[in-house]
Amino acid sequence: MKYWFVRSPYKHRKWADVLMFGVFNLYGIRNYASKKNISRMGKGDPAIWYSSRAGKMVFGIMQVKDKAFPDKTSDNGWLAIDFIPKKSLVVPVPLTNIRDNDVLSHSNIIKQKRMSVVEIAKDEYDEIIKIGDNIKT
């Protein structure tokens, strides 16, 4: 199982929309590294949903619905993938909290900030959920 951080590039799609429709379709990604990561996603892999448009925050948790498929917006071999929303975080996690967190500050989330899809470690995934669910240790 792999863990993913997915940046939603869509201006008019909010986490509430993902919850309402019951699926998040990621398409139109034109970055080769992100394409490679999309191709590596497996059914059931957990993913963090981050909006770069709505306050630069993590809002929820998703799960890969099935393997990637050809992106209908392109004829050049690009990929799309569907996710199922699983849960909203109690409080959204701002990018500044991720940057300032000892566990997350050196992760691919920060290092590869322009990529739509990056693999993250399980401890990074768990840390984001801990922050978002306001769990004190």
Q: Is the pLDDT of residue 17 over 60?
A: yes
Q: What is the b/e burial string over 74-96, where b = at least 16 CB atoms within 10 angstroms of the residue's CB?
A: eeeebbbbbbebeebbeebbebe
Predicted TM-score of the model (pTM) = 0.92
Instruction: Work out the pLDDT band at 109, boundaries 50, 70, 90.
Output: confident
In single-letter form, the type of residue at position 39 comes to: S
CA torsion through residues 19, 21, 27, 28, sign: negative
Instruction: Work out the pLDDT band at 136, boundaries 50, 70, 90.
Output: low
In single-letter form, the type of residue at position 40 comes to: R
Tokens matching residue 27: 């398409």
CATH superfamily, domain at 3-128: ph1033 like domains (3.10.590.10)
- What is the residue extent of each domain of the chain? 3-128
Tell me how far apart the alpha carbons of residues 85 and 126 are, in angstroms, rounded to a whole number.
Answer: 17
| Among 74, 3, 10, 70, CA closest to 41 | 3
pLDDT tens digits, one per residue of 28-65 = 999 999 999 999 999 999 999 999 877 889 999 999 99
Is residue 9 within 8 A of residue 28, CB to CB? The reply is yes
